Amino acid sequence: MWLKPTTPLNIVIGGAAGAAPPLIVDAALHGRIGLMSLTLFVIVFLWTPPHFWAISLFRKQDYANAHLPMLPLTHGDKLTRLRIVQYAISIAPFAILPTLTGNLSIGYGLFALAATAWFVWKCIQLYRVGSEAMAKRAFFASLAYLHVLFTAMTFDLARR
């Protein structure tokens, strides 16, 4: 309640709360926080800004009416679109980390790399075009990306 109305970094800082469930579950079930739950936390934490900033690009007036300092309102659309691309790119090493640590298969790793490249491409398209329609596409791409990534993890774990 304090972050949202006071800083344009509200999504970044508040993203930790939204990303915490894997850590909480791991601690509750195993009495510790393992690398896999930490990886899931980081993926969701890094995914949160591109997801919500895409919304803020096509719902900018709603945020302005509510006097919420979302990044497009405080720093402009172009910087917001650049930050979306940067955060999307930053997910890549964490998306494939479960393969590198042996927790998930090479098949998952290749799928994660392809899915992340697709998500980054959608964010780059948003950066280049900058329209509300493209912001909506990036938003829906963010939803699809997280869903398919976690579904792939689930299927890969189920095959073991």
> Which range has the worst mean pLDDT, 5-14, 71-80, 82-91, 114-123?
5-14
Q: What local confidence, expressed as pLDDT, does residue 32 receive? A: 96
What single-letter amino acid sits at 113? L
Query: 36-70: per-residue pLDDT in tens?
Result: 999 999 999 999 999 999 999 999 999 999 999 99
- In terms of CATH architecture, what is 10-158? Up-down Bundle (1.20)
pTM exceeds 0.85 for this model: yes
> Which range has the worst mean pLDDT, 4-18, 82-96, 106-120, 135-149?
4-18
Q: Give the sign of the dihedral formed by CA 48, CA 93, CA 158, CA 111.
A: positive
Query: What is the average pLDDT across 74-95?
Result: 98
Kindly tell me if the per-residue pLDDT of 3 is higher than 90.
no
Cα 66 from Cα 84, distance rounded (Å): 22
Query: What is the average pLDDT across 62-84?
Result: 95
Q: What local confidence, expressed as pLDDT, does residue 2 receive? A: 67
Cα 98 from Cα 104, distance rounded (Å): 5
Chain centroid offset of residue 135 CA: 15
Q: What local confidence, expressed as pLDDT, does residue 13 receive? A: 81
Cα 114 from Cα 20, distance rounded (Å): 26
What single-letter amino acid sits at 84? I
